[in-house]
Amino acid sequence: MAPTEVLVTVAYCAHGVEDIVEVRLASGATVRDAIDASGLLTRRAELGAVPDAGIWGRPCSLQEEVRDADRVEIYRPLKVEPKEARRIRAKIKRKRAGR
């Protein structure tokens, strides 16, 4: 028999910020329902209305159904794309080496 409720943890972490909330939801609730119930988007305006999210470190859509004991993680926006960051680091390294 499936449970009628699920207990889900919603987490957002950034430099100097750790906002973790447990929410109880009806069975069949989605990642979006968990995020909305947590109130994180209200407290953390920097995330925007449609954040990137995942369950236990695995990116997923906001429509994915959550299960009991899931950890929904909200990912912060990237400041620089990883490819661009590598280019910048390589350029700095070349300058230091005198090339």
The model scores a pTM over 0.75? yes
Domains of the chain, first to last: 5-96 (3.10.20.30)
Whether 1 has a pLDDT exceeding 60, the answer reads no
Q: Each residue of 26-74: pLDDT tens digit?
A: 999 999 999 999 999 998 888 878 789 999 999 999 999 999 999 999 9
CA–CA dist 20, 3 (Å, integer): 23
Residue 10 has pLDDT above 90, yes or no: yes
Give the Cα separation of 20 and 31 in Å (integer): 15
Q: Which of the pair, 80 or 13, is modelled with greater confidence? A: 13
Give the largest CA-CA distance in the chain: 68
State the pLDDT at residue 2: 62
* Alpha-carbon torsion (15, 52, 47, 72), positive or negative: negative
